[in-house]
């Protein structure tokens, strides 16, 4: 009896576990983006670098903290031999000593170093934000790609159903002597040839889904139910040059190029200060000590203060390392300036290309929708003509394929258009809702 009870409990546990595993995870685009960014290892590593840079920035002026040292020790002095005996009695004595020192070095390079530290933190923030944006865009592209593949599978299954109906009709006609064996074979081939396409589409979908789950940090066996409320929204964009000029400075690549120029300029300034500016060192040292014995003298305390000035001269010597470092730093500024100009040009071109692609894709949507209407009407008329014996089975199959192709084309175009909106928002470095709010055409109906 106990064995039966255990078996029942085990069966219930397995059933409950299987049911839990088979439950679909509802996934919106926002949830996908959140998962992708929260579980991405590159982002986690970048966050550590960002925290380190922030910690350094909070202590950017630590060069002004004086250097403090404490020293202490015990020593023994003893006579090994006095010429007559070894280790004569009472020839050993102990003493202690201690010292403390504080010093600080001052030069004009300290403020420049602090600025470089703060800039390093700003650059780390930019890199972190850029990586977040990249991962979100990857998740978005994969999300809509999978939706498009799901629609494609559904369209192919619809094609399979239509081909099956056509095959059944030809088979019935063949049994009644109204269709030839060749027509029956063609109908069967047309019907059965669709299943391999569905299998291939399903395989491609599973491969893409596996990569998507990996991006989101989910188990490979996770079942996903995509929740998408996206609607096709027309955007009325300003002229390409105006759009690019308005947002080019907002882009991460331009921000990074400008930060690199600023860092090169600060590094050049640091080279000059280090090679030309004098430095001052202030120090105070305290010392004390005495013998360790009952009648030892009371320890005193001695101090010494010093000021030293160091004036570098190597920077003025042509061909010296310091002099070459200064010239190399100037060259680095020139290079960074050229890189910034090129980055701005490329960024503007990228915005122009993405805006043009967005407009092109939207214009194609209406043509694709019209093509579906034509293809649906053509297939309906072809079916009627075939049933009336006025059209061949091959011609009907051709019309069916044109209908399926038209639906696939529209589905792919819609997916590409939505992704293109996100691509443009990413290129402008603004939220997609802000892009739609700025340039979305309002529905006057």
Q: Measured in whole angstroms, how far is the alpha carbon of residue 264 from the centre of its chain?
A: 26
For residue 299, give every residue at least 6 positions away whose Cβ sits within 8 Å of its Cβ, in sequence order, or none. 288, 289, 290
What sections of 59-108 are H helices per DSSP? none
For residue 72, give every residue at least 6 positions away whose Cβ sits within 8 Å of its Cβ, in sequence order, or none. 96, 97, 98, 99
Query: 387 with 358, same domain?
Result: yes
Residue 1 maps to a domain: no
The values of phi and psi at residue 80, to 5°, are -80, -45
Q: Measured in whole angstroms, how far is the alpha carbon of residue 157 from the centre of its chain?
A: 37
Contact yes or no for 211/142 (Cβ under 8 A): yes
For residue 399, give every residue at least 6 positions away whose Cβ sits within 8 Å of its Cβ, in sequence order, or none. 375, 378, 379, 382
Query: 307 with 410, same domain?
Result: no
Query: 334 with 427, same domain?
Result: yes
Q: Domain boundary residue among 266, 291, 311?
A: 311
Instruction: Output the six-digit token pair for 374.
Output: 């034509």
Query: 203 with 152, same domain?
Result: yes
Q: How many CA atoms lie within 13 A of 109 on its CB side?
A: 17
Residue 15 maps to a domain: no
Residue 307: other Cβ atoms inside 10 A = 8
For residue 23, give every residue at least 6 positions away whose Cβ sits within 8 Å of its Cβ, in sequence order, or none. 223
Calpha distance 373→402 (Å, rounded): 11
Residue 444 maps to a domain: no
Owner of token pair 């120090």 = 283
Contact yes or no for 172/110 (Cβ under 8 A): no
Contact yes or no for 289/94 (Cβ under 8 A): no
Question: Of all helices (H) and strands (E), which one includes residue 284?
Answer: strand 279-291
Query: 117 with 257, same domain?
Result: yes
Query: 162 with 214, same domain?
Result: yes
Q: Domain boundary residue among 255, 288, 311?
A: 311
Calpha distance 426→141 (Å, rounded): 12
Query: 94 with 157, same domain?
Result: no
pLDDT of residue 23: 59
Calpha distance 153→368 (Å, rounded): 19
The values of phi and psi at residue 309, to 5°, are -120, 130
pLDDT in tens, the chain (445 residues): 445 444 444 444 444 444 444 457 899 999 999 999 998 888 999 999 999 999 999 998 888 888 899 999 999 887 777 667 777 776 778 888 899 999 988 888 889 999 999 999 999 999 999 999 999 999 999 999 999 999 999 999 998 998 898 888 888 888 888 788 888 888 888 889 999 999 999 999 999 999 999 999 888 888 989 998 888 888 999 998 999 999 999 999 999 999 999 999 999 999 988 888 888 988 989 898 888 777 778 888 888 888 988 888 887 888 888 888 889 999 999 999 999 999 999 999 999 999 999 999 999 998 998 999 999 999 889 888 887 778 787 888 888 889 999 999 999 999 999 999 999 999 999 999 999 999 988 754 4
Q: Report the CATH number that the domain containing residue 394 is assigned in CATH.
A: 1.20.1600.10
Query: 269 with 373, same domain?
Result: yes
Instruction: Output the six-digit token pair for 280.
Output: 């001052």
Residue 297 structural domain: 70-107+279-311
Query: 165 with 261, same domain?
Result: yes
How many folded domains does the chain comprise? 2
Query: 80 with 132, same domain?
Result: no
Q: Smallest Cα–Cα separation from 306: which of 131, 109, 104?
A: 104
| Strands (E) located in 113-242 | 224-226
Q: Is residue 225 helix, strand or coil?
A: strand
Residue 220 maps to a domain: yes
Query: 323 with 298, same domain?
Result: no
Strands 302-310 and 93-107: unpaired
| pTM score | 0.81
pLDDT of residue 184: 86
Residue 37 maps to a domain: yes
Residue 170 maps to a domain: yes
Q: Domain boundary residue among 311, 335, 352?
A: 311
Residue 7 maps to a domain: no
Torsional sign, CA 215, 219, 224, 229: negative
Residue 11 maps to a domain: no
Instruction: Output the six-digit token pair for 328.
Output: 């190399």
Q: Measured in whole angstroms, how far is the alpha carbon of residue 216 from the centre of its chain?
A: 12
Query: 60 with 170, same domain?
Result: yes
Torsion angle (degrees, nearest 10) of CA 233, 238, 242, 245: -10
Residue 48: other Cβ atoms inside 10 A = 9
């Amino acid at each position: 009896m106990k064995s039966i009870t255990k078996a029942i409990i085990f069966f219930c546990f397995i059933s409950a576990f299987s049911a839990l595993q088979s439950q679909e995870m509802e996934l919106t685009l926002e949830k996908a983006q959140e998962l992708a960014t929260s579980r991405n290892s590159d982002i986690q590593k970048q966050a550590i670098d960002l925290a380190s840079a922030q910690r350094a920035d909070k202590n950017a002026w630590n060069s002004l903290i004086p250097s403090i040292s404490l020293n202490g020790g015990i020593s023994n002095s003893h006579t090994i031999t006095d010429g007559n005996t070894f280790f004569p009695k009472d020839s050993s004595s102990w003493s202690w000593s201690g010292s403390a020192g504080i010093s600080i070095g001052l030069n004009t390079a300290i403020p420049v170093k602090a600025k470089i530290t703060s800039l390093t933190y700003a650059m780390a923030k930019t890199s972190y934000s850029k990586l977040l944006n990249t991962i979100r865009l990857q998740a978005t592209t994969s999300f809509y790609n999978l939706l498009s593949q799901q629609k494609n599978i559904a369209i192919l299954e619809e094609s399979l159903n239509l081909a099956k109906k056509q095959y059944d009709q030809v088979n019935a006609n063949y049994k009644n002597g109204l269709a030839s064996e060749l027509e029956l074979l063609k109908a069967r081939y047309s019907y059965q040839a669709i299943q391999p396409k569905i299998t291939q589409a399903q395989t491609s979908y599973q491969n893409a889904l596996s990569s998507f789950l990996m991006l989101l940090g989910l188990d490979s066996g996770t079942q996903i139910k995509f929740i998408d409320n996206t609607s096709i929204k027309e955007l009325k964009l300003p002229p390409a040059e105006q759009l690019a000029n308005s947002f080019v400075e907002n882009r991460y690549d331009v921000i990074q190029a400008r930060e690199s120029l600023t860092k090169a300029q600060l590094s050049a300034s640091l080279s000059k200060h280090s090679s030309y500016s004098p430095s001052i060192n202030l120090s105070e040292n305290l010392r004390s000590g005495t013998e360790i014995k009952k009648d030892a003298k009371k320890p005193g305390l001695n101090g010494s203060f010093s000021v030293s000035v160091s004036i570098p001269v190597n920077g003025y010597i042509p061909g010296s390392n310091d002099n070459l470092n200064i010239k190399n730093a100037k060259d680095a500024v020139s290079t960074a300036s050229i890189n910034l100009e090129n980055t701005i040009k490329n960024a503007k071109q990228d915005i122009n290309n993405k805006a043009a692609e967005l407009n092109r894709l939207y214009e194609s949507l209406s043509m694709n929708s019209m093509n579906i209407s034509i293809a649906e009407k053509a297939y309906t008329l072809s079916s009627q003509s075939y049933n009336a014996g006025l059209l061949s089975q091959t011609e009907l199959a051709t019309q069916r394929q044109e209908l399926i192709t038209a639906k696939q084309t529209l589905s792919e175009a819609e997916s590409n258009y939505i992704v293109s909106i996100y691509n443009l928002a990413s290129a402008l470095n603004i939220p997609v809702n802000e892009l739609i709010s700025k340039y979305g055409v309002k529905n006057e109906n």
